[in-house]
Amino acid sequence: MCGRYGLTIDQETVAATYEVERLLFNHEPRYNIAPSQDVPVLLDDERGRRVEGFRWGLVPFWADDPKIGYRTINARAETVAGKPAFRNAWKRRRRCLVLATGFYEWQKPASGKGPKRPHWIRLADARPFGFAGLWERWDGGGEPLYTCTILTTDANELVGPIHPRMPVILGERWSWNAWVDPEVAPAEAEASLAPYPAEEMHAQPVSTYVNSPRNEGPQCIELDEG
């Protein structure tokens, strides 16, 4: 799964990196983004290419209670088209790019005992990228609620020793553009849902400071050699 990540660049860099026409969500560099928070997502449809803020944890249109979003922060790529919570968004091509510069996974100790060790995982050249995401609109509470989920896949050779799953990473502009383009059919978009090449990624252990979602700042991603 992917339960914590970062977008450590400022708003101006977001606009330049993702070639955005409009920024509709104010963003400061974040090092410890957690579920249920509003997160920057890239959309490209009849309303133009833009960044909006959607709550992380997809709430299906049919949900009675938005708290379902706590259980839908991730969607398995292998089953997303058929799962009730996600199939409407998938069928309607409600694809978005969840903007990121890295993510965290927690590794169990080899002995099986003791606390898990967090790792910060990013692209080897440290450039920004995107997670393949889906979004949905929920109208059950008066004002529309826009939410999103991050798709996951099997871990590659780098991430596997840390965690068996990893988010679907889209690292190049052509892949971003194809994913958010509603003209691209679901069957074609499905080809993007594969593990990112391990040799193009980097992972490092970090301190348990990141364990609390209340903690924020560059300290979250500092190398911990202990």
Catalytic residues: 2, 105
Beta bridge partners of 154: 165
Query: Hey, what are 198's tokens?
Result: 């391990």
Instruction: Say how many residues make up the chain.
Output: 226
Backbone angles phi, psi at 72, to 5 degrees: -125, 35
Nearest to residue 165, comparing CAs of 216, 109, 121, 219? Answer: 121
